[in-house]
């Protein structure tokens, strides 16, 4: 077993996949496209905002452009509650940024976005995609628009997951607990990733950034917990008020209703007045 840094952390994911040979090997296996690049940008953003969202809010984790084949590929790895809409926006930003003239709306470069959902997704699919190519009424593509977005969930790899993808996704998922059996993986670039993210190879700066990301996640979880608790409390309040209204409709005294439901007397009286006005 090998101790590794989890690929759930942005700083680690970018360290591993920003290597041009790793990036191109991954893209070839996932998209079937061979890229010719010598550099992968991290935290890529465009100088002008798209719509009313500032460019700093639409940063691409990993971004590479093959100017000869006229292809852009970006890879994202974070999971958000709105990730389908968020990464659709990012993808469209890469398309719209190319629109320099109203005379021709066809982007100069094809755009592919690969989203790695390391923490899973409520739909529990190993892959889903947004394909921009127009379809006829039989679902047959016209071959007009190549742009697409792929959402990959490593934790849902199954027997039907395409073979070229399997080792990449399994290695990503395997890293999440910080321990990997490196003997399970045979692709040269997957082995390179595992070597790159070895715990003993991390710099102090990378460890510090991991701690920052962990703290950010913990804070978000706390806020989510607070929101859920508020929702539950709101639900209990509404349930109590519904019971109170039913009891009042049966003629129970407002003071007794307040005692039974544990609602403030003033609130029960307000509910009673509201009911009288509605009737």
Query: Cβ neighbours of residue 274 under 8 Å, at least 6 residues apart?
Result: none
Report the DSSP pairing between strands 148-152 and 110-116: parallel
Checking if the pLDDT of 50 tops 80, the result is no
Looking at the structure, do residues 193 and 239 belong to the same domain, yes or no?
Answer: no
Looking at the structure, do residues 189 and 122 belong to the same domain, yes or no?
Answer: yes
Instruction: Over range 21-32, report the average pLDDT.
Output: 96
Looking at the structure, do residues 30 and 71 belong to the same domain, yes or no?
Answer: yes
Looking at the structure, do residues 274 and 170 belong to the same domain, yes or no?
Answer: no
Percent of the chain with pLDDT over 70: 83
Looking at the structure, do residues 230 and 194 belong to the same domain, yes or no?
Answer: no
Domain end, chosen from 170, 202, 234, is at 202
Domain end, chosen from 150, 171, 202, is at 202
Q: Which domain holds residue 21?
A: 2-202
Checking if the pLDDT of 232 tops 50, the result is no
Query: Looking at the domain assignment, is residue 14 inside a domain?
Result: yes
**Is 194 in contact with 2 (CB distance < 8 Å)?**
yes
* Domains identified in the chain, total number: 2
| pLDDT at residue 82 in the model | 73
Query: Looking at the domain assignment, is residue 213 inside a domain?
Result: no
Domain end, chosen from 202, 237, 269, is at 202
Looking at the structure, do residues 138 and 265 belong to the same domain, yes or no?
Answer: no
Tokens of 182: 């490196």
DSSP H helical segments within the chain, as ranges?
A: 10-17, 20-31, 83-96, 163-175, 188-196, 204-249, 254-261, 265-278
Closest CA to 253 of 268, 239, 243: 268
CB-based burial, 135-174: b 16+ in 10 Å, e otherwise: eeeeeeeeeeeebbbbbbbbbbbeeebeeebbbbbbbbbb
Looking at the structure, do residues 88 and 187 belong to the same domain, yes or no?
Answer: yes
Query: Looking at the domain assignment, is residue 79 inside a domain?
Result: yes
Looking at the structure, do residues 148 and 257 belong to the same domain, yes or no?
Answer: no
Query: Looking at the domain assignment, is residue 67 inside a domain?
Result: yes
Query: Looking at the domain assignment, is residue 218 inside a domain?
Result: no
DSSP bridge pairs for 66:
71
Looking at the structure, do residues 157 and 67 belong to the same domain, yes or no?
Answer: yes
Query: Looking at the domain assignment, is residue 258 inside a domain?
Result: yes
Phi, psi of 66 (to 5 degrees): -100, 100
| pLDDT at residue 217 in the model | 66
Closest CA to 116 of 215, 6, 222, 2: 6
Query: Looking at the domain assignment, is residue 207 inside a domain?
Result: no
Phi, psi of 41 (to 5 degrees): -85, 145
Query: Cβ neighbours of residue 101 under 8 Å, at least 6 residues apart?
Result: none
What's the pLDDT band for 56 if we cut at 50, 70, 90?
A: very low
Q: Which residue has the higher pLDDT, 279 or 156?
A: 156
Looking at the structure, do residues 230 and 191 belong to the same domain, yes or no?
Answer: no
Percent of the chain with pLDDT over 90: 48
* Calpha distance 62→40 (Å, rounded): 6
Closest CA to 202 of 8, 1, 6: 6
| pLDDT at residue 236 in the model | 74
Query: Looking at the domain assignment, is residue 188 inside a domain?
Result: yes
Looking at the structure, do residues 154 and 65 belong to the same domain, yes or no?
Answer: yes
Looking at the structure, do residues 136 and 265 belong to the same domain, yes or no?
Answer: no
């Amino acid at each position: 077993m090998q101790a590794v840094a989890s690929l759930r952390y942005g700083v680690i994911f970018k360290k591993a996949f920003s290597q041009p040979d790793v990036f191109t090997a991954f893209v070839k296996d996932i998209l079937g496209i061979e890229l010719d690049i010598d550099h992968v940008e991290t935290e890529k953003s465009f100088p002008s905002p798209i719509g009313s969202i500032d460019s700093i809010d639409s940063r691409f984790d990993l971004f590479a452009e093959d100017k000869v084949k006229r292809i852009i590929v970006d890879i994202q790895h974070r999971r958000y509650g709105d990730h389908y809409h968020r990464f659709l926006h990012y993808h469209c930003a890469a398309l719209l940024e190319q629109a320099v003239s109203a005379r021709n709306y066809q982007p100069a470069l094809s755009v592919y976005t690969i989203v790695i959902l390391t923490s899973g997704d409520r739909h529990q699919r190993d892959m889903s995609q947004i394909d921009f190519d127009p379809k006829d009424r039989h679902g047959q593509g016209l071959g007009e628009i190549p742009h697409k977005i792929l959402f990959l969930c490593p934790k849902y790899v199954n027997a039907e997951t395409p073979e070229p993808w399997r080792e990449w996704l399994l290695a990503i998922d395997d890293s999440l607990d910080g321990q990997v059996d490196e003997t399970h993986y045979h692709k040269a670039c997957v082995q390179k990733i595992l070597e790159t993210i070895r715990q003993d190879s991390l710099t102090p700066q990378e460890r510090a950034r991991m701690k920052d990301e962990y703290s950010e996640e913990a804070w978000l979880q706390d806020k989510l917990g607070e929101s859920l608790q508020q929702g539950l409390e709101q639900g209990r309040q509404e349930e109590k008020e519904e019971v109170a209204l039913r009891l009042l409709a049966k003629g129970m005294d407002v003071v007794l209703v307040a005692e039974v439901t544990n609602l403030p007397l003033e609130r029960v009286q307000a509910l009673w007045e509201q009911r009288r006005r509605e009737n």
